[in-house]
Structure formats: C-alpha cells, structure tokens
Structure 1
Amino acid sequence: MQIRPILSALRRHRLATFLIALEIALACAVLCNACFLVVQRWELIQTHSGVDERALALLMVDGFEPEQAADVNARMLAGLRAIPGVQSATLVNQVPFGPQRGAAGISHDKGSFKNKIGVVDFVLAGPGTFQALGLKLVAGRLPQADDYRPATTFVPEDAQVLVSRSLAEHAWPGESPLGKEFWCDKLHFRVMGVVDHLARARPRDWGAQAVEWTVFTPTLPGGSLSGTYLLRASPAELPRVLRDARNAVEKIAPDVVLDQEDSRTLSDLRTDYFKSDRIMIDLLLGVIVVMLGVTALGIVGLASFWVAQRRKQIGVRRALGATRGDILGYFQTENFLIVSFGIALGMVLAYGLNLALMTHYELPRLPLYYLPIGALVLWGLGQLAVLAPALRAAAVPPVVATRSV
C-alpha cells in the first residue's frame, strides 16, 4: 500500500482531516487523564485501614466539661461493656475514616522543623485498644501498663509509641526505627514498635504517600482521650450491638449528648467517606464512554462521506484490478494516519491538561505509560469505526461504478 496517494487525498480535504484529528487529540487527552484519575480514586478507595473494620464501631458523646471526663469515661466504659455481644469497649481519639482529632507536625529535632518528618495523625489509645483494633505488630513490642501516660496537652509527654511501617520507612529509610526519637515541638517520643498498617482518619487529604503516616500513642483515659469509644463485636452482631449501645447512652450517662452522625460502624464510615470518590469514578467513566462514542461516530461519519464521494474512483480502481482487500486496506490506512496525527497532538494536550490539574488540584504527574495505552485504545477504536464504511467501499461492484462514469 503506497502512502503518497493517501496523503495527497488527505491534503485535498484538509479541514475535515484536521477536525477529525483534533477530535481524536481531545479524546486522547481526556482519556489519558480521566483514566489516571479513575485509577487514583480507585486506589484511594482500596486504602488498607490496618484494622478489623467489620468487627468495629465508633460511639461518640460530648456535652460534658473537661473536669467530668474521668467520671464520664468510667460510666460509659462500664455500661458499654455490659451490653450483650460486646467483646471489648475501649477509648480512642480517632479511627480510620472517622473524624480527625490528632494531626500534628513532627521533626527529628527538638523545638525545630528544620529537619521535618511531616504531618502525622496521633492515634491516642487507651488500654486494650491495640487488640480491639486488630492491629498487626511487625517489629518491637506491644504497650505495657507503664507505657500508658496521661495526655497533659493533646498527647502524653515523653511517650513510648508505635509507628506505622509507612511512616517508619519515610522517617528512617533503610534503618530500624526501634528506639528512634522524634519531637512534636518540645514533646518527645521514642519508637517502641512498628505496626503493619494503620490508616489516617482522613487519608484523602494527605496524598498517596502519607495515607498511613500514623503514630499509635498509648494514653491513659481522661483529658483529650474522652468521649470516643471503640466497640468490638462479631460482624454478625455488630449492627445490633451498636444500636443497643446508642439506646443505652441515655441511661448510662444522661448528662452527655450522643453524636448521632459519627456513632457508626467502621464499614459505614468507610462507605460514607469514599462516597464522593465513587461518584467521581462513575462520572469520569461516563465522560470516557461519551468521548469515545463521539469520536467513533465522527470517524464513521467522515469515512461514510468519503466512500460516497469516491464511488467512481473506487469503481475505476476495481476495474483496473484492485481487490476488495486493497480498497479495505486503503481506507483503514487512511484512517490510521489521521488517528496517528490526532494521537501525537493528543499526547501534548494530555500533558498540558495534567500540568493544569497538578497546578490547580495538586494531582501527581501523569505516568508516561498512560500515553501508549491511550494510543492503543484510540488506534483500535479508529480501525473498528472505519471498518463498516470501508467494507461498504470494498463491496462496490466494478461494473456498477464504471457505468456511472
């Protein structure tokens, strides 16, 4: 198949060729970036919390003064543990996908952020919370009784803590984190253990790298560790246990106010937290389907128009010995060249669009491998779209075409 006659024909239809190529370029830019956004959102939805979500629920109360915290905690824990089906009831300040209560910046240096590690979530946890959450220890030791200390500010001072594996690899790459020290302003911490996974309360807000930058901090009940209770029960009984716990609050502590919105199972908290991400994925997939459909219709329309215009030319070529395969190959090659030009332009537009998204929405850079994937999709779409008009062209009988001359 000689390319020169095809290029000559395309030059005679510059405007139509350019418009279809531009449509393909826009489709390429949208396809690459939309697929990238879909993958980003999907990976976020699949965030590994590190806890036994199906067996856990959160119960939150407020409306009491700080000096009442010890009494409220004692009454609430005793009352919740008495509910049938409750395996454990402990204190925690936050859980994955729930309200965020303990984010702060940490550093390798005391009172300075020149050697900053980053902003982390401090998970304040009372006795028994590590086991209730179902966390997995991968290095170091579990908290002992004397590791639990009161939170004099928002966290205990000079605390022995556990960090997530993700945070350990970020803060001390290539080193054992055990025994390492870090500071939050003038508050001192020492690492006694590492947990496999523990997600932040609001992972979407911190970027993919920092989803699990968490510090598990053993804390005695009271002060900043009050009013938020973690319930553990079998997955089958958990909805009933939570319902009974919510109903029991008025009897256990009539002087507090139940937080109806955030007192939920962790599975429900996850579903609600990622609801907007699922909606965004559906919208982006809809945009991809519509864009590809419009592009395919444009290719079909242009190819059908050119087949109708070239019936005489096709008939002459058939009379001179061109086979149906030759005619089919001609239109497919012509379409391939148009799509290739559109893809080349689309790759530039894809990166331009990605730079704009990086600037305004703090998205990561588009990986290069999305470009050849987008090109393959559009090449395949182009060949499928042109196939029906090309087959009609190949079916033009030589006799019928030559009689019309």
Structure 2
Amino acid sequence: MEIRPILASLRKHRIPALLIVLEIALACAVLCNAVFMIAQCLIGTHAANAIDEAGIAIIHVGGLDDQHAADSIARDLAALRSVPGVQAVAAINALPLSTDAMLNGFTPNPEQDSQINSSQYFISRGGEQALGLQLLQGRFFNAEEYAQGGFTTSHQSSSHVVIVNQADAQRWWPGQSPLGQQLYSSSDKTAWTVIGVVADVLAQDPEFSGPAGRYSSLFFPLHASADLNRYLLRSAPQDRDRVLQQAMQALGKLEPGAVLEPKTYLDMRADYFAGSRNMAWMLAMVCVVMLAVTALGIVGLTSFWVGQRRSQIGIRRAVGATYTHILHYFQTENFLLSTAGVALGVVLAFAINIYLMENYEVSRMPWYYLGAGAVSLWALGQLAVLWPALRAAAVPPVVATRAG
C-alpha cells in the first residue's frame, strides 16, 4: 500500500496522531518494566533452598531464663527427640527467610572488606541433620568443635571452623578447593577454617541481602545457649503436623512459662514471600488496566478520526477502493503510529529501568522484555483499530460522500 497518502493524512491530523503515539509509548514503557518486576517477584518466590523444607517444623521459644537456658534447651531437645516420627532435632538462631537476620561481612583476604552481607547460622549438635543440609565437600562438625557462650564468643571454638555454601566457595576461591582455606570477618578479622561445603541454602533475609547475598550463608557450631531460640524438628512430610502438635504438648509441660510459637517451614516460606506475591498481582492488575485503557483510547481516537474522514473514505470508495483497501489503510496507519510509539516507549522503558537500578537496586532488564513489550503493543494496536476500521470499510460510498 502507498504510504505517502497516509503520512499526509497524519500530518493533517497531528494532535490525534500524537496522542496515540504518546499513549502507546507510555504503555510500552510501563508494561516492559512492570512485567520485568513481576518476573523478578515470581522468581524470588520459587528460589531454590537446599534444606528439607517439606519436613521441617519450627518452634520459636521465648521467655527462657538466660542463666539456665543451656540446661533448659538440652532438656527440651531430649524430650523432642522422643516424639514418635522425629528424625532429627536441634537448636538454631535463625532460619532461611527469617526477617530478623543476623548478617556480617566475610572475606578470604584479611586486607579487604566484604561488599556482601552473609547470613550467619549458629547450630547446635545435630543441626546439619535437622536442616537436611546436603554435604558436597569435606565434613560436618565434630563434637569437639562446638563453641561455648553466645554470639560474642561463639566464634572462639578451639578449631575456629565454618561450613560454607557452594556459591560462596566458588566466589571466594574460584578454581581452588575451599577445604582448609581461611575465612575472615570484615568486622574484627577473626579467622575460621573451612571444613565443609554444602549445597546452597538461602539467606536469612534475601530481599534485604540483595541478589549478591541471596546464597551467601555460613554455618557455625555452637553449644546450646539462650541465643539459639528456635527448635528445629525434622520428620517425614506426612508426619510433620502431628510431630509439631505433640512437640508443643511436650514443651508446654517442660516450659510452662515460655512463649512458644509453632510453624511449619513451608508456612514460614509462604509468609515471607506473601508481599512479593501481592506485589506481582498488583502489578499484573496495573498492566491489565493500562492495556485496557490504551486499547479504549486507540478505539476512541480512531473512531473519532474515522468520523472526521467519512467524506475522504467515500471518495476513495467511489474511485475504486475496495472494502479490503480501506481496512488495510487504517491498519497500516495504526501500524505506523504504533511503531513510533513503541520506539519512543522502548527508550522510556530503558530510562526507567536505569533509574530503578540506580535508586532501588533493581536488576538490569534483559532486552527481550523490550521486544515482548513492543510486539504486545503492536498487536494491541492492530486489534484496537480493527473495529473502527471495519466500520469505516463498511460505509457505502454514496452514504459517505453525502455525509461529507
């Protein structure tokens, strides 16, 4: 189809054409970034976590006497091991996806500070089994390596040992064996020796830690103390709820003055990512409403435009233009406007993404989101203009020329 008559018509009707271009550009920019953020939210909610999520239950314990906490915890753990169906029991300071995260910087070079906050997990004996950690290299802690005291002295076990995530091992010692390597705290330069590497366990608060710290987790051995205020119970998934109920009954008798908060790990995970899922739904609704408004705007402006050009349409029909020619005319016209809007929208989408990266720690948007947004707006434009174009093509020449 000849493009020059269409361009001439667009120059004559600049304001409606400009409005459609701007509407499509804004829709494209918002759509690309919104869909990218939805994908990021959903990816986060499905993040892999190398522990036995389905089999773990947690009891948060509050109100224990600090002076007698060690004896109380040892007694409580012994009682929990006797619950039928329990496979492993331990005490721990925090879980992956905890909001009360305990973070610190670590580095293999004592002369450098870490730019990543790593999650610190302090576990009592049996913690590896209770979590279901997957050992990839080295070994777990032995009985002599568990440190006495709270967090301030928990690093001072005789051997100063630590177990690291696979992601950390590859980041800190690429191409080398991490076993036997030294790891230093950025705060006080205390050193630990790596004795084991486990499959990647999520950080305590990955949304706070950011993408770099999502799988930066370290495990330290610690004897029972008031700082280990969560009891882990691991069982078969089908026994988990019953085990948790019976464990609560046992602890209620042993610790009548304590505050006990039971939860399965799957519920804990669902609670942590509830905000991300709600955000994804909200952004999805924004996209749907925005696309609907954009489509209605194109229909409205194009319908008005068709009404203003009924005489022109009639003349074209009178000199031999067919139904198909008129339909293709408006579709081509809309394609040109959509192309201009999409081109501007892609630039705006890229600029918005850069702004979000600099101010809100959002990742760089891959190019294919821009392509998908462009194709979506092109398709939307063609669908939106179809009804006005069909009405215009269906007008008989005598009616159109008389209307003019």
- Shorter-chain TM band: over 0.9
Contact residue 147 and residue 155 of structure 2 kept, 8 A: yes
- Which sits farther off after the overlay, 285-294 or 124-133? 124-133
TM-score scaled by length of structure 1: 0.92
Counterpart for residue 179 of structure 1: 180
Counterpart for residue 85 of structure 1: 85
Using the TM superposition, give the Cα deviation of residue 71 of structure 1 relative to its aligned residue in structure 2, in angstroms.
Answer: 0.7
Using the TM superposition, give the Cα deviation of residue 78 of structure 1 relative to its aligned residue in structure 2, in angstroms.
Answer: 1.6
Instruction: Look up the SS of the partner of 2:203 in the other structure.
Output: coil
Deviation per residue, 1:313-352 (Å, 9 max, x gap): 2222122222222111110111111111111221222123
Deviation per residue, 1:281-325 (Å, 9 max, x gap): 110000000000000001111111122222222222122222222
Counterpart for residue 210 of structure 1: 213
Q: 2:310, 2:154 → 1: CA distance?
A: 82
Contact residue 147 and residue 154 of structure 2 kept, 8 A: no
Counterpart for residue 6 of structure 2: 6
Q: 1:101, 1:318 → 2: CA distance?
A: 72
Counterpart for residue 138 of structure 1: 136
**Would you identify which runs of 4 or more consecutive aligned residues in structure 1 move more than 4 Å?**
402-405
* 1:5-404 correspondence to structure 2 within 5 Å: 5-110=5-110, 112=111, 114-116=112-114, 118-151=116-149, 153=152, 155-157=154-156, 158-184=159-185, 185-222=188-225, 224=227, 226-255=228-257, 257-260=258-261, 263-402=262-401, 404=403
Instruction: Look up the SS of the partner of 1:264 in the other structure.
Output: strand
TM-score scaled by length of structure 2: 0.92
Deviation per residue, 1:179-204 (Å, 9 max, x gap): 22111123211112211121111111
Q: 1:380, 1:66 → 2: CA distance?
A: 66
Using the TM superposition, give the Cα deviation of residue 58 of structure 1 relative to its aligned residue in structure 2, in angstroms.
Answer: 1.0
Q: 1:154, 1:207 → 2: CA distance?
A: 28
Instruction: Look up the SS of the partner of 1:17 in the other structure.
Output: helix
Q: 2:355, 2:402 → 1: CA distance?
A: 57
Q: 1:88, 1:154 → 2: CA distance?
A: 26
Contact residue 51 and residue 134 of structure 1 kept, 8 A: yes
- Which sits farther off after the overlay, 202-211 or 62-71? 62-71
Q: Which residues of structure 1 form unaligned runs of 5+?
A: none
Distance 1:160 1:301, change over 3 A: same
Distance 1:264 1:385, change over 3 A: same
Q: 1:101, 1:311 → 2: CA distance?
A: 68
Deviation per residue, 1:40-97 (Å, 9 max, x gap): 1111111112111111011121223433122111111122122233222212221112
The letter of the residue matching 1:192 is I
Q: 1:29, 1:186 → 2: CA distance?
A: 47
Residue identity (%): 46
Using the TM superposition, give the Cα deviation of residue 236 of structure 1 relative to its aligned residue in structure 2, in angstroms.
Answer: 2.0
Deviation per residue, 1:101-133 (Å, 9 max, x gap): 5311112234x5x24363211111222221221
Q: 2:160, 2:33 → 1: CA distance?
A: 45
- Which sits farther off after the overlay, 80-89 or 266-275? 80-89
When the two chains are superposed, the root-mean-square deviation of aligned CA atoms in Å is: 2.0
- Which sits farther off after the overlay, 141-150 or 324-333? 141-150
- Which sits farther off after the overlay, 132-141 or 18-27? 132-141
Using the TM superposition, give the Cα deviation of residue 276 of structure 1 relative to its aligned residue in structure 2, in angstroms.
Answer: 0.8
Q: 2:4, 2:176 → 1: CA distance?
A: 63
Distance 1:199 1:361, change over 3 A: same
The letter of the residue matching 1:379 is W
Using the TM superposition, give the Cα deviation of residue 403 of structure 1 relative to its aligned residue in structure 2, in angstroms.
Answer: 5.1
Contact residue 91 and residue 123 of structure 2 kept, 8 A: yes
Distance 1:118 1:360, change over 3 A: closer
Q: 1:404, 1:385 → 2: CA distance?
A: 25
The letter of the residue matching 1:87 is Q
Using the TM superposition, give the Cα deviation of residue 382 of structure 1 relative to its aligned residue in structure 2, in angstroms.
Answer: 0.5
Instruction: Look up the SS of the partner of 1:64 in the other structure.
Output: coil
Distance 1:101 1:281, change over 3 A: closer
